[in-house]
Amino acid sequence: MSKVIGIDLGTTNCCVSVMEGGAVQIIPNKEGGRTMPSVVGFTEKGERLVGQIAKRQAVTNSSNTLYAVKRLIGRKFDSPEVEKMREVVPFEIVEAPNGDAHIRAVNEVHSPPEISAIVLQRLKQSAEEFLGDIVTEAIITVPAYFDDMQRQATRDAGKIAGLTVERIINEPTAAALAYGFDNNKSEKIVVYDLGGGTFDITILEINDGVFEVLSTSGNTFLGGEDFDQRIIDWLVDGFKEENGIDLRQDRLALQRLKEGAERAKCELSSVSETTINLPFVAADASGPKHVNAVLTREKFEELVSDLVESTVEPCQKALWDAKLQPEDIDKIILVGGQTRSPIVAKTVEEVFGKPPSSEINPDEVVAMGAAIQGGVLAGDIKDIVLLDVLPLSLGLETRGGLFVKLIERNSTIPLRNTMTFTTVVDNQQTVEIHILQGEREIASGNRSLGKFELVGIPPADRGIPQIDVTFEVDASGIVSVSAKDKMTGLEQAMQVTPSSGLAPDEIESLILEAKKSAEVDRQARDAIMTRNTVSTLIENTRKSLIEFGKDLPKEDQVEIKTVLAEAEKDIAEGDPEKMREAQARVEEVAGKLSDALMSLA
């Protein structure tokens, strides 16, 4: 089995790692960084930019630079979360024919799994360059509170990127694996994970290599992006009050404000105040207007206090579900870049009665844990057992629109459970199985995962037929459901493929497109390397001609100058084949020049 890479597909940044020689290695990206911005940009020329290079051009190309796409994955266009996001991002979020939230860039509509796949593909390339081998298997992490739709959509993204997703594991669980790896302690730990777009709280017990998740809770739409937005709103309101200009109508200005807000937030993790200085952010009849604001840590904490406070209830809920008290917890691990804010550490200490640990890197620990799980699956690690849980209850809609749970949240996975149902009217020959996920007692208040029908039930009085409905949840949290009529043995089953996912033909089409894009990227990279090689060769040859060429026959000097000039034209045109031919011609005259100079020496 080839190497299994571990990927933290974060809202703001992502990270990839691998087990090498019994240790976890963080794989650097093309720019040399250990994490990569989860940003994709599309240019008018049709180029795809990924990571830092995409983030750098966000100000000048804001409507076609996509970020925080993880917050859209597996969500409907009319959901409150998508509506909230539409109000603050500079790019256009549109409704797909099936009701999903998609994104428009350069007049093309893209699904969130497709955009995520572009990021994953770049991580895959980095891993292949690092390992010197093809990579096909991966462990991808998701927030613990992701439902089945969001997990399926993440798996689709991996498939589009050319990866076999061996396992989807929860981010806090991955962090615990990294913390507990090579650690023989027996202890109960809390993983408080506040990243760019999601919040999870997970309580685990580690004992002799067994990692058992006791409970999990959280919010899939709370994270650092919301903290940034509070600063942006503060800046916009202050600028409007001072200048009478509403910057919310200016996409370019908003993108600059976002970058300034993110930078200020990071600085306030280590200093008590910072200055946000954005010159020429707008203009009116009186001239250009600038943003120049001093943001203190005290003011920042005032702006985000309710966001931090909203993490307290899930923490208490997780303790309740695990049947533990704060004093039962041995260690609290902070995960996610937003946990660097002092107000977060302070709140965590207030909830659990002890300061959180800072011994692991919150930006890398999730990817490290995913790589460890990859090592377990590959057989490289044999003394670790992971027992994860289902974040939300699963069940069916029954008569009157009620929700009946077959599997309770925080049940250990993988698992299987069966419940017997019956008909509600006489001679009923068809039963609709409506699969739901959530905690509300009314079916309409929960997330619909899919429907199928069991047909051909023999006519009988209501209440007579016995229909066994079985739910299976695999180790990735993916759901399968079957229904069987006990009398006839007739059975119908489905793996839940949520409507928020992509149809199989769409996935295959996107896989082909991703492969094509990878080839285009390779060709572009080869063309750049050829251009650089030829440019250097031209420069060196011209330099030698200027310094020593005066002793050559006139016709040789003219020939060399002509070849160099033609080669420069070929470089300007950018055609790879012409550049390779130019390289051969320049190498030939450079060789003649060298031979001539040697003969004159």
Active site residues: 8, 70, 171, 193
Contacts of 132 (CB under 8 A, 6+ apart): none
Which residues, in sequence order, are bridge partners of residue 469? 419, 483
Neighbours of 487 (CB within 10 A): 13
Residue 312, phi then psi, degrees to nearest 5: -70, -45
Tokens of 21: 């020689």
Residue 198, phi then psi, degrees to nearest 5: -140, 160
Closest CA to 189 of 386, 330, 6: 330
Closest CA to 473 of 541, 400, 390: 390
Contacts of 440 (CB under 8 A, 6+ apart): 403, 446
51: left (phi over 0), alpha (psi -120 to 50) or beta: left
Neighbours of 467 (CB within 10 A): 20
Q: Are residues 437 and 470 in contact, defined by beta-carbon separation less than 8 angstroms? A: no
| Torsion sign over Cα 194, 199, 203, 204 | negative
Strands (DSSP E) contained in 411-498 are 412-413, 415-421, 430-437, 447-455, 467-473, 479-485, 491-495
Closest CA to 178 of 28, 380, 332, 373: 373
H-helix or E-strand spanning residue 555: helix 554-573
33: left (phi over 0), alpha (psi -120 to 50) or beta: beta
What amino acid is encoded at 272 in this protein?
Answer: S
Closest CA to 578 of 539, 523, 530, 507: 530
Tokens of 334: 């902070």
H-helix or E-strand spanning residue 127: helix 112-131
Residue 57, phi then psi, degrees to nearest 5: -100, 15
Strand 164-170 relative to strand 137-142, pairing: parallel
| Torsion sign over Cα 52, 123, 265, 145 | positive
Separation CA 10–CA 13 (nearest Å):
5
Sheet with 415-421, strands from edge to edge, namely 415-421, 467-473, 479-485, 491-495
Closest CA to 538 of 576, 566, 575: 566
| Torsion sign over Cα 435, 441, 443, 447 | negative
Separation CA 37–CA 56 (nearest Å):
10
